[in-house]
Amino acid sequence: MAENQIPSSFNDFFVAEVNNATEQKQLTLEEKFSQERNNWTKRIREMSVKMKKIFDIQELMGTVYNDRQLALEYYHMLLSLLIRVNKEYRAQYTKKYDHYSFGSQKRFPNETTKNNQILSEMEDIISKKESMNNMLKYMESTVKTIDNIIYGMKYRIEIEQISRGK
């Protein structure tokens, strides 16, 4: 998947593969998110470096809004995927709850033990859900950081003008 390309569907996001010449290796969701976090961290660092030099601010002004829009689109794509994961989670939970409440020979002394049994069987989807929530929080903070850089550009230019005596 290209660096700036956002997956267009739910399946593209969860089934993305890295093609090697001889083998295909499927990345886990955590690895994908780790790569994305590293990518966004690198972009933020590049923006911060450009803030230091007044001559680089013009280039920064050209790219910062594009990067903010990409971060925002990625955030909303993750949000829509989380909605689908939550829908799948609720469907699985309901099915398992009904099974253990009415269809199973196994009896539980209380609701807590039944709930723990169900949640232990749903470990994969719970892991996806928690990873996506974590990544959503990261992307929300990334958008706020980019907003702060946009806000800071004006003051960086003013400071430079003051230092030149204008």
Mark residue 2 as left, alpha or beta (left: phi above 0; alpha: psi -120 to 50; beta: remaining).
Answer: beta
Range of the domain at 122: 40-163
Note the pLDDT tens digit of each residue in 51-68: 888 888 888 888 999 999
Confidence band for 10, pLDDT divided at 50, 70 and 90: low
In a domain, 117, yes or no: yes
Note the pLDDT tens digit of each residue in 133-160: 999 999 999 999 999 999 988 888 888 8
Q: What φ, ψ does residue 24 adopt, rounded to 5°?
A: -115, 130
Tell me how far apart the alpha carbons of residues 20 and 26 are, in angstroms, rounded to a whole number. 11
In a domain, 85, yes or no: yes
Per-residue pLDDT, averaged over 28-50, amounts to: 93
As beta bridge partners, residue 19 has 24
Note the pLDDT tens digit of each residue in 55-104: 888 888 889 999 999 999 999 999 999 999 999 999 999 999 999 999 88
CA distances from 129 to 96, 112, 132 (A): 18, 21, 5
- Report the domain count for the chain: 1
pLDDT the model gives residue 17: 47
